[in-house]
Structures are given as C-alpha cells and as structure tokens.
Structure 1
Amino acid sequence: MNTSLRPQRLRRVQLAVPGSSEKMIRKAAASDADHVFLDLEDAVAPSQKVEARKNVVEALNTLDWGKKTRCVRINDLSTKYTYEDIITVVSGARENVDTLMLTKVKSVSDVLFADTLLRQLEETLGLTKRIGLEALIEEVEGLQNVEEIAKSCDRLEALIFGMGDFSASMGVLIKPDGKVGPYPGDVWHYSRFRMVMACRAAGIDPVDGPYADFRDPEGYTEECSRSLTLGCVGKWALHPAQIPLAIDVFTPDADVVSRARKLAAAYDEASKQGLGAINFEGTVVDLASIRMFGAILKQADLIGM
C-alpha cells in the first residue's frame, strides 16, 4: 500500500451541510471550517436525493471554497443511491471534489467498492487529481472490523466515529433530550479509543463525530477536548456556531508549538553528536519525547503556525 499518495489535510472541524439546501451550502463555503461535507445521506429526504446531487455539483463547481477540503457524504451501500451518488458527483464536479465520505461502513469490501469505482471513473474521465475516501464507523460490524477497514486501501484518508447511528446499532439507551442514559464515565470511550488506535496504526486521520445540541457550547467543547486527548485530529460541527469551538480546541497553543520545535531542534543537533538524550532547559529530551511532540508539530505545520 502506497501511503505517500495520501494528501495531508487539516480536519480540525468538519462542517455538515445538507446537499438540498443551497442557502446553507453558500454559508458553508464562506465559513471558517477546514473541511465541509455536503450531505446526500441523512440530511436529505428520499424525494430530494436526485435534486441534491445537482445542487452539490453546482456548488462545488461555482462557489469559492478557499482552502477547504470539499467532501460529499454519499448514501450507504444498503440503498439504491450509492453508485449514482459517486458517478454523478465525480462526473459533474471532477477535480472540484476532494473526498467522498462513505456511510455505515461495515467491512473492507465497502471501501474497496468505492475505491474501484473511483479508479474507473478517474481513468475514464481523465482526471488529474486522485479523489480521497473517508469512512464512517457507525455500525457494530464496522467497529468489529475497524482495524482491517483502516488498512483497506491507500485512498482512505480518515475514519470518523458516528455515535448517533452507532448508538442505534448497539441498542444504547438514548433519552428524549438526545443524551445517553446513566453511565459511569464516557460511554463512547472504548469505541473512540479503538478507532483512533486503528487509524494511527494505518497512518490515517481519526475524526470524532457529531454533538447534536449546538446550543450547548460547554458540552461540545468538552467532547472536543476528550477526543483530542484520545488522539483525534478534529470533530464534526452540525452548526456554524460549533466551528470556532472546535478550531480553538484542535489548534495547538503557540507557546507549546514553539517549545516543541526548540526541543526537537536541540535533540536533532545532539543526535548528530551521538547523544541519545539531553537536558534542554530543565527538560530531559530523548527519542520518545520527540515522538510525543510529533502530532502537535504535524498539526501546527498543516495550520501554518
């Protein structure tokens, strides 16, 4: 698997936008989100699926998206919409779509279906840019197979934990207000941890899914902090109000980045002299220390800090 083919993208916040709403799509293009996914799945009624594809293609081709990653979330393979979603979007938008998001992924074969269809389309259309894949882990089968899914193909760039559908798949108790029933701790800890571990082993990005109550900034910020601590690179936003909150959490502190770079530079210089560990301004630095700084420095480089 040639992982060098994967572009490095900033995913601090992925904004969800219904593909059927031209107004919301225009606002999303002008937002500060790193990544926007135009949704053809849950946010679009069956009667609007075909029209939403046209809206999405038109928006990708005509709006100014800046440096955002332009993604389209397609319908899952249990529906009749999947292959036409892929063909219509890719044929219509061509190089103006960066990634496709696969939904309810249960096994490697789901990813390979999309990979094969995309390869054929790219060759047929003569595309100059390779389109990436992102996959939602939101079914129990998907989590059971997450390690294999993460390593399924070099077109796959990220996995996202979708706790909404996953809770239904697991039969988790959801109260009328949308909150999870009583549980001593984070009910999603194991699921997120396992997905992050699979992503890191495969060299792809782990992303945390939605927090439905956009009127609860404290709760959303706490969830961002939890997923960051576990190793996620970003989180979904279901409303523009959540964008600055996610960006704030997933942007490394400038002072931390500056110190990490100084430590890395000092260690690099020391290693050239044959030293395995050094004392730099009161901190013992060795190879393990440098590896711990790696995620922070990679994120900072992508941001341009």
Structure 2
Amino acid sequence: MKSHRSFYRALAIGAPAPFQSMPVALERMIHFVPPHMEKVRAKVPQLIKQVDVILGNLEDAIPLDAKQAARHGFIQLANDNDFGSTGLWVRINSLESPWVLDDLMEIVPACGEKLDVIMLPKVNGPWDIHYLDQLLAQLEAKAAISRPIRIHAILETAEGVNNVSAIAEASPRMQGISLGPADLAASRGMKTTRVGGGHPDYKVLADDAGDAPRASYQQDLWHYTLAKMVDACMAAGIKAFYGPFGDFSDPAACEAQFRNAFLMGCVGTWTLHPSQIDIAKRVFSPEPEEVAMARRILAAMPDGSGAVMIDGKMQDDATWKQAKVLDDLAKLVADKDPEYAKFYQVE
C-alpha cells in the first residue's frame, strides 16, 4: 500500500499530476459501441447527443480476428468526433490477453487527450490497478498528455469480489467499479447462463398452507455482491455501476434490475442495446416527486441540523443528507438534459 504522502504523486517524470478529487460528471448510462463496425461508428455523432458516456468495446463480443480493427476503429471515432460533455471511454482487453499492450500503446498516444476513462476487465486485486496505473503514467508522459486518464474496474471474478475494497482504493485514477455478472457467475460456478437479472429458480417459498398453493418469491442473485461493491466504492470516494443486462426482449426485467441498483447506490449502468438507453436515463434520473420532497427537507433544515416534521414524518440530519444526494443529482441531470430541467423546475 502506498503511503499517504506519495499516493497523489505522478508515477512517471512528465506525467500529469493525479486528480485529488474526481471531475464531476453525469454517467447514467455507459453505452457500448463495437468500433470495428463502420455502420456503428457512423451513428456515434447522434449517440453523443443521447447518452452520457460512449464506450468503445475492444474485449468480449469482439471477434478475435477483429481485435485490431476494433482498436483502430476506436481511435478513428475518438478523433473524428467532438464529445462535448459526453464521456469517452474504452474497454481494453484483459491483462492476461495478447492484445492489451497494443491497445494501450496505440490508443494513448493517438487519442489519449480526448480519452476520459479506461475500463479494465477481470480485475482480481489492487495489483492489476497498480500495473495499469504505472503504465499509463509512462505513456502519458511520453505522449505529453495534459490530464490523467482514469481507470474503471469491472468486478467479474470471485477473487475480485474478495478484494473489492483494496481495488477501490488502489489508485487516485480509480473512477469507479462495475458489476460484471456473466463472468462472475462463471468464476463462482453459479448455475445460470443469464447475463444479469434474476433467475426463477432462486426463490423462497411461503409457509405450507395445507392444500392451498404455496406462494413463491424470486430473490435477487446479485444483492450481496452489489451491496459489497457499493460500500467499497462509497468508502473510497468513487462511483458504483451496474453492468450488463443481456435480455433485450425483456425491458421490464431490465428496468427492475437497473432500479434495484439505483436505489442501492449505483449512479449508472451499461447499455448494450439502443432500447436500454431510455430505460437507464429514466431509472438513474430521480423522480420529480422525490426531488420536490428532498427540497422541502432542505428548505426546512437550512443548516442540516435539528429535526422537523413534514407531512407527519420526522426529518433529521440523516434524512437531510439523503435529500442532499437527490437534490445534487437532480441539478447534475438538469445541467445535461433540458427535458429533466423542466421536470425538476431548474432554470
């Protein structure tokens, strides 16, 4: 573990100084783009207006013979577009793969000045972050990049879950962590082929009522892991995200999974299909009624101390903090999205 004196020191001569606090950004949906496909790259200018983050995917779902084309396609889409307030991310190949070094050695010099975040798959422990941290500093110094590229880890191995707190605290580059349920299921030996979401066989039964049918209730396979990840992220001052939901034919289940993650503290999710963009935008933007109530609490307790009664319910410093979370998020959403600015009555 680095000492507190050296934690924020650049790891290479000439590299930009690490962020001491993360840039404020709205990241409700991280929209995945396969950059080896020209027809998809052509849609990026329109997608920039619709989503909070554009991510070029170089890892899973990219055929082995298209890895180089995906890398070069990402560099092209990065350099051909003005992203404005929309984030530009890339998911590189995992550290044990034969492609990862070329991903980094080519992308950082070619478009590192525009790149906000590198998403690192299959992170097992802080040592993976330390390796990427050092290498990025060297590449940034060599290419004279003016600001540090941040790191986002995917939690998709049992070892990674075991080390999630250390991963979250591994570097000042850490932007956040996403839950990767598909690879994590395989790593754990779980008996499911679903990509995220629940499973009808993971349930509890109501008590035996004799001849009457017993009610059953589906449980959330990912509740424990998501809660553990959120705690690790919040304690480290970084962001927690839900990952993929693979059943594009079931928008209701997708929305339920996204909403569970939002309520538990996640700030955003992945969108793998255009149909999921509006779901993510709706779920990860607070309801106007909740924002209005939050503002009533803040107005009644301007300094956040004491206790008041609103509609017969006690509000104190703890609910003031909850209200502040909602109000701050509403302002961030309103700055990005004029439609929501009207909902929240923010001018």
Q: Secondary structure at the match of 1:95?
A: coil
* Bigger mean CA deviation after superposition, 235-244 or 121-130: 121-130
Partner residue of 1:290?
320
Q: CA deviation at 1:153?
A: 0.9
Shift of the 67–183 alpha-carbon distance from structure 1 to 2, 3 Å rule, reads same
Q: Secondary structure at the match of 1:43?
A: coil
Residues in 2 aligned to 1:219 and 1:249: alpha-carbon distance in whole angstroms? 13
The answer on whether the counterparts of 1:101 and 1:135 sit within 8 Å (CA) in structure 2 is: yes
Matched, 1:24 2:54: no
The answer on whether the counterparts of 1:19 and 1:43 sit within 8 Å (CA) in structure 2 is: no
Matched, 1:252 2:252: no
Structure 2 residue corresponding to 1:299, chosen from 302, 311, 329: 329
Structure 1 residue corresponding to 2:122, chosen from 96, 104, 114: 104
Task: Give per-residue Cα distances to partners, 1:8-60, cap 9 Å, x unaligned.
Answer: 22121111111211222332442211112101101222222122111101100
Amino acid in the other structure paired with 1:42:
D
Structure 2 residue corresponding to 1:219, chosen from 253, 259, 262: 253
Partner residue of 1:210?
244
Q: CA deviation at 1:260?
A: 1.4
The answer on whether the counterparts of 1:277 and 1:284 sit within 8 Å (CA) in structure 2 is: yes
The answer on whether the counterparts of 2:195 and 2:246 sit within 8 Å (CA) in structure 1 is: no
Amino acid in the other structure paired with 1:192:
L
Partner residue of 2:201?
182
Q: CA deviation at 1:66?
A: 3.7
The answer on whether the counterparts of 1:15 and 1:28 sit within 8 Å (CA) in structure 2 is: no
Residues in 2 aligned to 1:26 and 1:279: alpha-carbon distance in whole angstroms? 55
Amino acid in the other structure paired with 1:10:
L
Residues in 1 aligned to 2:99 and 2:148: alpha-carbon distance in whole angstroms? 22
Unaligned runs of 5+ in 2: 1-6, 9-18, 204-218, 335-340, 342-347
**TM-score normalised by the chain length of structure 2:** 0.81
Shift of the 119–190 alpha-carbon distance from structure 1 to 2, 3 Å rule, reads same
Partner residue of 1:136?
154
Amino acid in the other structure paired with 1:5:
S
Amino acid in the other structure paired with 1:182:
D
Kindly report which structure 2 residues correspond to 1:85-100, keeping only aligned pairs within 5 A, or say none: 85-100=103-118
Amino acid in the other structure paired with 1:284:
M
Q: CA deviation at 1:72?
A: 0.3
* Bigger mean CA deviation after superposition, 18-27 or 82-91: 18-27
* Bigger mean CA deviation after superposition, 90-99 or 250-259: 250-259
Shift of the 280–187 alpha-carbon distance from structure 1 to 2, 3 Å rule, reads closer
Residues in 1 aligned to 2:194 and 2:328: alpha-carbon distance in whole angstroms? 40
Q: Secondary structure at the match of 1:11?
A: coil
Q: CA deviation at 1:230?
A: 1.5
Amino acid in the other structure paired with 1:121:
L
Amino acid in the other structure paired with 1:107:
G
Amino acid in the other structure paired with 1:222:
A
Structure 1 residue corresponding to 2:133, chosen from 106, 115, 133: 115
Larger Rg: 2
Residues in 2 aligned to 1:165 and 1:127: alpha-carbon distance in whole angstroms? 33
**TM-score normalised by the chain length of structure 1:** 0.92
Residues in 2 aligned to 1:29 and 1:43: alpha-carbon distance in whole angstroms? 22
Shift of the 38–175 alpha-carbon distance from structure 1 to 2, 3 Å rule, reads closer
Residues in 2 aligned to 1:103 and 1:138: alpha-carbon distance in whole angstroms? 8
RMSD: 2.1
Shift of the 301–278 alpha-carbon distance from structure 1 to 2, 3 Å rule, reads same
Partner residue of 1:11?
27
Unaligned runs of 5+ in 1: none
Partner residue of 2:338?
none
Amino acid in the other structure paired with 1:14:
I
Name the structure where helix makes up a greater proportion of residues: 1
Q: CA deviation at 1:177?
A: 9.9
State the identity %. 33
